[in-house]
């Protein structure tokens, strides 16, 4: 820092907040640390008793907090995001559309581990709305070594740490299975639940079908919907290991590649996911989706609607945080359910 006369401070960067006190009106910083002094600021500074100021003395190899914030913003900002202007060394990223937020946790940890800088984000793999805040970046000190910011860029690599995948208006088909529903012994209460959840993503439902517990019929039903252009197939019911629950077999017999049968999530342990022709997801939903407010389906649906390919490992890491507590007042997604590692 360097102490200079206030009249000579135009173009210089303040090293501390300047407080203005007007009795009964305000007591607040009239200028914040990091502010670049202008000619118009001089009378104001003098009016609050500042005849001398501590300013940042530019040194070779050192970056001001706003310059460093620009670097952090650049290594974070992916597609479909907007940014705020640097203020007090802080830049925020905002969603430019509805979509699925992706966060590279490994890179995020690597950058934050360097010290003197932070990137704070929302949880990845959850839906966000246009205008939602996604992340904030800043450095801790007023100035930082340039080589340290170069290390941050190296740790982040070529691709941004954050990405926002917009939701697609997928053509979706629903197949409800079960002899009790097929023969009209009970009312189908599964399909309305699925339709309600799909409506949140503006999905185009091209058809619904109720079938008996005959795996040949279910397999054919899936293939028929795919032939009609379905981009997502949802099968409900018949997902347990009981001998008369044939939906998993039916999904396998389509020739689809099974990602997983079972997930470490409660409710939703008997969930199944497969991809037909490597691109069309087929989801087998257990009965809990019909009556539990939040389940495995709420965790995977946003990813399916954003064309975010789900791997077996993606489901395995859900064990930590995979227990829904069925709170009397549900606050999902603002809770720990599905947050994973």
Q: pLDDT tens digit string along 204-262?
A: 999 999 999 899 999 999 999 999 999 999 999 888 877 667 899 999 999 999 999 99
At 3 the pLDDT is 86
Rounded Cα distance between 209 and 207, Å, is: 7
Res 15 pLDDT > 70: yes
Place of tokens 């860029």: 153
Rounded Cα distance between 55 and 15, Å, is: 5
Q: 294: closest CA among 235, 259, 339?
A: 339
What is the rounded average pLDDT of the residues 6-22? 82
Q: Length of the chain in residues, anyone?
A: 341
Rounded Cα distance between 80 and 98, Å, is: 9
Rounded Cα distance between 149 and 273, Å, is: 42
In contact, 19 and 29? CB cutoff 8 Å: yes
Q: 165: closest CA among 306, 279, 301?
A: 306
| Run of H or E including 13 | none
In contact, 88 and 77? CB cutoff 8 Å: no
pTM given for the model: 0.85
- What is the distance in angstroms between the CA of the first residue and the CA of the last residue of the chain? 42
In the predicted model, what is the mean pLDDT of the chain? Answer: 92
């Amino acid at each position: 820092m360097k102490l200079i006369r206030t009249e000579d401070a135009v173009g210089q960067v303040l090293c501390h907040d300047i407080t203005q006190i007007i009795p009964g009106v305000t007591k607040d910083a009239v200028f914040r640390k990091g502010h670049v002094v202008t000619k118009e600021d001089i009378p104001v500074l003098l009016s609050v008793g500042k005849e001398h100021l501590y300013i940042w003395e530019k040194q070779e190899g050192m970056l001001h907090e706003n310059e460093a914030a620009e670097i952090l913003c650049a290594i974070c900002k992916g597609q479909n995001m907007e940014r705020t202007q640097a203020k007090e060394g802080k830049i925020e990223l905002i969603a430019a559309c509805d979509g699925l937020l992706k966060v590279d946790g490994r890179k995020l940890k690597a950058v934050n581990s360097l010290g003197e800088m932070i990137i704070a984000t929302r949880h990845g793999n959850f839906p966000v709305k246009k205008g939602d805040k996604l992340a904030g970046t800043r450095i801790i000190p007023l100035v930082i070594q340039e080589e340290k910011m170069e290390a941050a860029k190296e740790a982040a690599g070529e691709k941004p740490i954050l990405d926002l995948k917009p939701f697609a208006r997928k053509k979706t088909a629903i197949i409800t299975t079960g002899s009790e529903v097929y023969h009209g012994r009970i009312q189908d209460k599964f399909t309305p639940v699925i339709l309600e959840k799909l409506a949140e993503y503006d999905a185009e439902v091209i058809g619904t079908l109720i079938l008996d517990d005959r795996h040949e019929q279910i397999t054919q039903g899936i293939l028929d919907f795919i032939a009609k252009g379905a981009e997502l197939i949802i099968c409900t019911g018949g997902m347990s290991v009981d001998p008369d629950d044939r939906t998993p077999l039916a999904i396998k017999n389509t020739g689809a590649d099974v990602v997983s049968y079972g997930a470490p999530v409660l409710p939703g342990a008997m969930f199944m996911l497969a991809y037909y022709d490597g691109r069309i997801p087929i989801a087998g939903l257990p009965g809990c989706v019909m009556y539990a407010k939040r389940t495995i389906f709420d965790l995977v649906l946003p990813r399916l609607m954003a064309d975010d390919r789900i791997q077996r490992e993606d489901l395995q890491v859900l064990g930590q945080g995979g227990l829904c507590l069925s709170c009397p007042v549900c606050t999902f997604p603002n809770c720990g359910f599905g947050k994973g590692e």
